[in-house]
Structure 1
Amino acid sequence: MGKKNPDTEAPIDELVDYLQARLETILANWRLACEADATMSSKSSFSREEFNDQVPLLITLLFLRLRNEPLKLDPATVASEHGLHRWQSGYSLPELISEMEHLFKTILDEVEAFETSSGKLGTKSLLFVQQQVFRMYGEANRGSLLYYHQLLQNDAAERARSLQFALDQLHQLGEKRGEHLRQSSHDLRTSFSIMTVASQLLEYPKTEKERTDLMDMLNRNLSSIREMLLQLTDYAKIEAGQDVLDIQRFDVAKLVKETLETAQPLAKHNKLVLQGDGPEKLEVTGDRVKVQRILINLLYNALKYTRDGSVYVTWTLENQLRWSLSIQDTGPGFTANSPAALLAEQLKPNVLTSASHQEPHLMEELPPGKAEKEKSKESEGLGLFIVKKLCELMKASMDIESQPGKGTLVRIRFMMKPE
């Protein structure tokens, strides 16, 4: 620290008293200089305390230095807190540099005004004051700018990791989509083969029970083929960009009840409880056919993969702008690394941590011997992919919550009046 002598001590003490009395003016002039700077984005929305942040404390440390008193705080540490505040407030690095320049120029202007009016400092005292001001300026820059720069680097690395994680997920999802199509083609061929054999056996039934069993086999496979063809047709339309909205007024409650009635035979066959709950009437504006396609895809998945328990469908008016449709089941949930799980991870609601800090539990390898078993569930991911694309077309939001062994909840929020 620079040394004062008795000849300079008294006028410097007078200067510090003057600057302390002018502290509010210094801060106000500093803000005006920042707002007048065309290279800075004006932070006029800041309150006085938000704008000043750690600067009054930095100036107080400068006063202690000028009086040759010990500092209880490190100026660089105080300045780093200021840099953190500015980073969180959206400042750019050039703005922070300009802000520091304006601050210490304002202080030097006040020193010059004191010397002009009093003439007490003299050359030695003025040199000492300037040395301390520039020393504090250097420490403030190192503290605020270096910490700010470190935050930028950390943020860039975080974004890079998040982007890589998202790209990895999209890559796996793309691979799974190809598997969906191959599996669907295989299922279609298998179903047609079963139907061919069953129809041939119908020509030679031994008993009425055998005939009934064969007809039941045909009906099950016809239903399965119908669902697969509908999914593949939807998928082809979406991929070709041929889906357009047909906006009309309709009653959601009536639509859902009719769809549930149609699905009841499948629910009874699987020994499941299928229940719908919602207002008796809910008039909305939207694409009735696409809402039904979304419901059928989700309902088909829930009924197909829930082995025991229930499937619940709920429709409700959330507010004047949105209504929601929810399908919840007591099924097995999504298995790690399945395409449905990858999609659910992307649509998980209210995620507060960044992707790079999340546990990538849905990306883990399946235990040995389990992968083959999961192939039978590939069409579930295709149905969810179709629903996701239809939601994007209708500007609806889609949330998925699922835990292995605890079931799945899919919630779709539609606009009451699409734009």
Structure 2
Amino acid sequence: MAVQPSRPLRLFADYLRLERVNLTERWMKAVFNDADLSESDRLTHEQLSDHVPEILGEIFSALEDQDLDEVEPSIERNARQHGRLRWKQGYRIDELVRELDLLRQVLMGAIDSFAQGHPTFTRRHEERARHFVDEAISFVTLTSIREVVTERDRKIDEYTGQLERANHELLLKQKLVGELYESRMQITRSVVHDLRNFLNVFAMALQMIARAPARTNAALALANRQAADMKTLVDELVEYSIVLGDNNPLATEAFDLRVLFDELVASCGPAIEAKGLRLVHRFDPQLRTITTNRLKLKQVALNLLTNAAKYTKVGEVELDMRAHGDAHWRLRVSDTGVGICAEDQQRVFREFERANQDDVPGAGLGLAIVSELCRKLHGELRFASHEGEGTTFEITFPLRLDPGG
């Protein structure tokens, strides 16, 4: 609450205003010479003075009017800025308290000096002035400390968030590494298993030739089938290793999608019809030129068509390409084959996952290759399947692929 200001206190406030520059320099000299304030040695005079001159001016006004409440908002604003800056400059809280205590000592010294030269400035005036200086500096110190603590807590929260994100990413990478290791071990086991089976059948064929020369033709036919299956396995392994190891920037080109569609029909149709199946093909006339990697797109379609024919004994395989909105198009391959049971649908895109049919050749890498190529071509892959009824794969591709997008 404000009290009626006395003339000696007003004169003292005027004296402090005239001496503000000297008081600021005296305080900075005390700070620079204090052995406990190591951070101040790195600061320029301007950096050190900071908001102190403004804070002094507000204290002088409070002394003059005997009312700290009036200037408290501006003192608080400057004290918060002072605390924030000291935090950025590397001050510890004890250093901040120490430098503000030196400011209090400088002001107390000014009270003593003024009292010695002004007899009307009585002891009661001194005590009143000391009370205001102590109260003002305490308020500045508390506000600055709170700002430092706030900045420190904010930084701690920021670091904690970064650590949590880094830890989460590390856990994900560890999981991926573990899955990758298990996947590679599965590849090794599967390849060794298949190659051993091939070699066992070769050995059986050779024994058949040695023991029953009359069955040489049957043994050679068996050996040829095994050689073809082994070649299929090796081809898929080579194809998959090329897809995974291709880290070059994706090359794109503009081409007529209808031309690629006709190529697929011409290349896959005879093999599908040779199995007694029908190839149903539909092309949307709205589709024209697209921009993507032509070879990788063709590889996706061929793998899906080959896979569909491989697991279909009766019925048809369908190839469909159509527009999908203004910026995308959709590739659809469906069949009337064995389908995929519900419990196996979560792992169809893993390496060496196959339908449980011994008469189906291959290593089970076709859909793994499709999945990786779709990722590179920014394709959104979906499928639906019902056991004993067939499977449908749909991939939505952009009409214009942005390799860096």
Secondary structure of 1:3's partner?
Answer: coil
Describe how 1:220-369 pairs up with structure 2 within 5 A: 220=235, 266=242, 309=293
Q: Give TM-score scaled by structure 2 length.
A: 0.52
Match of 2:373 in 1: none
Whether contact under 8 Å (1:274, 1:310) holds in the other structure is no
Shift of 1:223: 5.1
Whether contact under 8 Å (2:13, 2:60) holds in the other structure is yes
Match of 2:12 in 1: 15
Larger Rg: 2
- Structure with the bigger RCO (C-alpha within 8 Å, sep 6+) is 1
1:269-312, Cα deviation, whole Å (9 max, x unpaired): x9x896799xxxxxxxxxxxxxxxxxxxxxxxxxxxxxx8399x
Match of 1:100 in 2: 100
Change (3 A) 1:273 1:132: closer
Whether contact under 8 Å (1:195, 1:221) holds in the other structure is no
Change (3 A) 1:141 1:23: same
Change (3 A) 1:187 1:47: same
Match of 1:137 in 2: 137
In 2, distance between residues paired with 1:125 and 1:199? Answer: 109
Q: Match of 2:34, as an amino acid?
A: D
Whether contact under 8 Å (1:2, 1:128) holds in the other structure is no
Pairing 1:372–2:369 present: no
In 1, distance between residues paired with 2:124 and 2:344? Answer: 85
Change (3 A) 1:207 1:195: closer
Match of 1:83 in 2: 83
Match of 1:62 in 2: 59
Whether contact under 8 Å (2:61, 2:71) holds in the other structure is yes
The count of residues paired between Structure 1 and Structure 2 equals 255
Change (3 A) 1:135 1:222: closer
1:122-149, Cα deviation, whole Å (9 max, x unpaired): 1222122112111211211221112222
Pairing 1:30–2:36 present: no
Whether contact under 8 Å (1:75, 1:143) holds in the other structure is no
Match of 1:53 in 2: 50
Secondary structure of 1:90's partner?
Answer: coil
Secondary structure of 1:67's partner?
Answer: helix
Shift of 1:191: 1.4
Q: Match of 1:75, as an amino acid?
A: I
Whether contact under 8 Å (1:100, 1:141) holds in the other structure is yes
Secondary structure of 2:71's partner?
Answer: coil
Whether contact under 8 Å (2:83, 2:148) holds in the other structure is yes
Pairing 1:160–2:122 present: no
Q: Match of 2:293, as an amino acid?
A: G
Secondary structure of 2:42's partner?
Answer: coil
Change (3 A) 1:3 1:370: farther
Secondary structure of 2:23's partner?
Answer: helix
Structure 1 unaligned runs (5+)?
A: 228-265, 278-307, 312-330, 332-367, 378-401, 410-419
1:332-368, Cα deviation, whole Å (9 max, x unpaired): xxxxxxxxxxxxxxxxxxxxxxxxxxxxxxxxxxxx9
Q: Match of 1:46, as an amino acid?
A: L
Match of 1:348 in 2: none
Change (3 A) 1:219 1:156: same
Shift of 1:4: 4.2
Shift of 1:61: 0.8
Structure 2 unaligned runs (5+)?
A: 206-218, 252-291, 301-342, 353-375, 380-400
Q: Percent identity at matched positions?
A: 16
Match of 2:40 in 1: 43
Change (3 A) 1:273 1:152: closer
